Amino acid sequence: MNIKYRSNLVSGAISAIAGVIVWILVPLHIKPDYDLDAIITSRTLPYSIAALFVVMGLGLLARSLVFKQDKVKILVLFEELKVVAYMATMLIYALFFKYSFIGSTTFLGFSSLAFSGCRKPLYYVIVFACVVPLYFLFTRVMYVRLP
């Protein structure tokens, strides 16, 4: 199954919404400056970026809807589902990373091979054989405290 979408329209809408969200988040997450006379405060730049997102988003929407300048793109659902499943694997990896580097990273390496459709056991062995020395390289040579 394929999904058609218009690049400018979708990115314009996302940008405008993101701008509004950032605008709302600014006062919630950035306290007002102590120096009340300052022309540029800690909030000025984030507000400007929020405004930029909204303006650029509206510009893209206008390009798509008013000036009819847009590119129709096709999303092959099967392929994207594979990507989403791979991203879910990354999420699992992220959750387990703090418990064991070797275990979680081997899992991600094997998943990457499996998602590529690899059926050669040797490649899985090579990936595992690389994770272990990599762990020792980082922990013993580079003194990185990998979990």
Q: For binding to other proteins (CB under 8 A), which residues are involved?
A: 7-8, 10-11, 14-15, 22, 25, 29-31, 33-35, 38-42, 45-46, 49, 52-53, 56-57, 59-60, 63, 71, 73, 75, 79-80, 82-83, 86-87, 90-91, 93-94, 97-98, 101, 105, 108-110, 112-113, 115-118, 123, 126-127, 130-131, 134-135, 138, 141-147
Could you give the angle at the alpha carbon of 31 between the alpha carbons of 25 and 34, nearest 5°?
A: 150
Q: Determine contact, residues 6/71, Cβ cutoff 8 Å.
A: yes
CB of 66 to other proteins, least distance (A): 14
Least distance in Å: CB of 76 to other proteins? 9
CA distances from 51 to 7, 21, 59 (A): 21, 11, 12
Whichever of 20 and 90 has its CB closer to other proteins, that residue is 90
Structure tokens at 55: 């303006």
Minimum distance from residue 75 beta carbon to other proteins (Å) = 7
Length of the chain, in residues:
147
Orientation of helix 77-97 relative to helix 101-115, angle to 10°: 170
